[in-house]
Amino acid sequence: MSQILVTNLSFGYEGSYDNVFENVSFSIDTNWKLGFIGRNGKGKTTFLSLLMGRYSYKGTISSSVRFSCFPCTVTDEQAQRTASEFLPELSAECEEWRMICELSELGETADILYRPFNTLSHGERTKILLALLFSCGEQFRLIDEPTNHLDESSREKVKEYLSGKSGFILVSHDRDLLDACTDHVLVLNRKTIDVQSGNFSVWWENKQRRDSFAEAENEKHRKEIRKLRQAAKQTAEWADKSERTKIGFDPIKENDRCISTRSYIGAKTKKMQSRVKQMEKRIDRSIAEQEGLLSDIERVPELKLTPLTHHKKTIVNFRDFTVSYNAACPVFSPLTFSIQLGERVALHGTNGCGKSTLIKAVLSHAGCIVQPNRFSEHGICETASGLIISYIDQDTSWLRGSISALCEKRGLDLSMLCTILRQLGAERSQLVKNTEDFSEGQKKKLLIAASLLTPAHLYIWDEPLNYIDVFSRMQIESLLKKYAPTMLFVEHDTRFREAIATKTIEFSEYE
């Protein structure tokens, strides 16, 4: 066992307003199963890149181990070949028999190594690259979002696989995965960095306790400061009043006073003024103790949504509906279900089972998109007339230009969109960047913010939470529970789906 020591690390991207890391220090053991937690844009992927030596930085990162990362880059040329052919190019230590052993732990057979890589599913590609990561000898592994775009069965396989490994940093926003696979957490708070033992749930429970204590201490200090300021104000007023009586007096009304009384009044005034100064020092001390108490509290602002109400109760209806490509067999067994106002319907099934195709059919029937004749429909798909849909696609590659250009294109209020993005944890400096320069998580947040800002009868979200941080996921959960919009969505985050869905439609292969 060895340690990775980070000392006085500072790093910022060229042209950026603020540093990603500013003089931070911590240490981690190389046999830990370390979960890496933080909001989008806080620097998780950046830190992994620093460990890999991709950027120059100030400070030191010292370690006696080598680093390897997931996902590694597979070029377009390599993707046209089989994994068996190009894996030695990615790692000279890769041995095929080890790959086969690792793949068996992931529930896959060796045949996926001998099929063109670009013909494999997302799950199969992920498993090959994970198997490569753990078949290359003694290294410390850096794993970045291994379950994005994976269906539930593939996520379960990856979760079981990683739970049996050690010596890695896992960047993930999947709470189930973090709970099952980690024994320590590295947390990028708002102002500080924490390293703690335990999984995500243990850390979250401890964080809520600390935050509650910090808020209680902060309120106690605020009350004390208010009392001290009131007392100081009153004492200062008494001192001023006493000082004004030093010179001049009415000998008839104040027959017990004489010139010598002035020294007594002056001494009394000086004593009260000294008391005011002591109170001011106590106020300053209390303010100093108060500072920093709330610096790491993740305030989760309440988002708002304005769903529209349709005059029909049933807004989408399927009867024995399925699709097929190129006159082949139908993709999935015929489905019969409806979407009622206020329902949140989850589509559930493996990758490639037809969930996104069914969504495209709804959008086409509602007149939201012009669907090319890529597939044939069988059965009935009906949508209510005048149906307004707010849609989030899986794909973010089309995002180009500024946020203001997107608002102009969609008829959205720029200030409101920026407000929602800020509530979702976006930094002010991000709002002036072009959208193509956003991270994947930031792009997803932009699409979610635009959808929330669009009044609609039906919200259709296709895997909206890929790359979205844990705190924002909880925000969105609370929002959907409170406003209960009518939804049709696909999401492989088990906790989110179970918390949000009022009805789940299971896809199965055509029989």
**pLDDT value at position 61?**
92
Q: What is the pLDDT of residues 373-424, one digit of tens each?
A: 577 888 999 999 999 999 998 888 888 889 999 999 888 889 988 988 888 8
Q: Is the confidence at residue 252, as pLDDT, over 70?
A: no
Same fold, 3-199 and 314-506: yes
249: pLDDT strictly greater than 60? no
**Residue 341 above 90 pLDDT?**
yes
Top-tier CATH class for 314-506? alpha beta
pLDDT classification of 245: cutoffs 50, 70, 90 = low
The whole-number pLDDT of residue 494 equals 86
Report how far residue 433's alpha carbon sits from residue 401's, in angstroms, rounded to the nearest whole number: 8
Distance CA 212, CA 483 (A): 27
What interhelical angle do 122-133 and 83-90 show, nearest 10?
40
The predicted model gives 102-120 an average pLDDT of: 89
This prediction has a pTM of: 0.72
Judge whether 96 and 117 are in contact, CB under 8 Å.
Answer: no
Q: In the structure, what pLDDT confidence band is assigned to residue 353 with cuts at 50, 70 and 90? A: confident
**Hey, what amino acid is at 381?**
C
Peptide linkage before 485 cis (omega within 30 of 0): no
Q: What share of the chain in percent tops pLDDT 70?
A: 84
The lowest-confidence range among 62-66, 436-440, 479-483, 507-511 is 507-511
Specify burial of residue 333 (Cβ count, 10 A radius: 0-12, 13-18, 19+): middle
Average per-residue pLDDT for the chain:
84
Whether 370 shows a pLDDT value over 80: the answer reads no
Which amino acid is it at 390? Answer: S
Picking from 55, 54, 62, 52, the residue whose alpha carbon sits closest to that of residue 8 is: 62
Q: What is the pLDDT of residue 276?
A: 67
Asked if pLDDT for residue 471 goes beyond 90, the answer is no
Rounded to the nearest 5 percent, the helix, strand and coil shares of the chain are: 40, 20, 40
Mean pLDDT in residue range 133-146: 88
HSE (side-chain half, CA atoms, 13 Å) at 355 = 26
Closest CA to 490 of 353, 317, 325: 353
Q: Pick the more confident residue, 345 or 267.
A: 345
pLDDT at 296 over 70: no
Crossing angle of helices 152-163/122-133, nearest 10°?
Answer: 10
**Local confidence band at 456 (pLDDT 50, 70, 90 cut-offs):** very high
Residues of 6-25 as b/e, b for ≥16 C-beta within 10 angstroms?
beebebbeeeeeebbbeebe
pLDDT of residue 213: 78
247 half-sphere exposure, CB direction, 13 A CA radius: 2
Contact 178, 162 (CB under 8 A): no
In terms of pLDDT, which residue wins out, 157 or 255? 157
Residues 6+ away with beta carbon under 8 Å from 111: none
Say which CATH architecture domain 3-199 belongs to. 3-Layer(aba) Sandwich (3.40)
Looking at 121-192, which runs of residues are DSSP E strands?
140-144, 168-171, 184-188
pLDDT tens, 24-46? 899 999 999 999 998 887 888 89
pLDDT computed for residue 140 by the predictor: 92
Closest listed residue to residue 394, CA positions, set 365, 421, 359, 362: 359
Q: Are 443 and 426 in contact (CB under 8 A)?
A: no
Q: When comparing pLDDT for 286 and 493, which is higher?
A: 493
Q: Hey, where are the domains in the chain?
A: 3-199, 207-290, 314-506
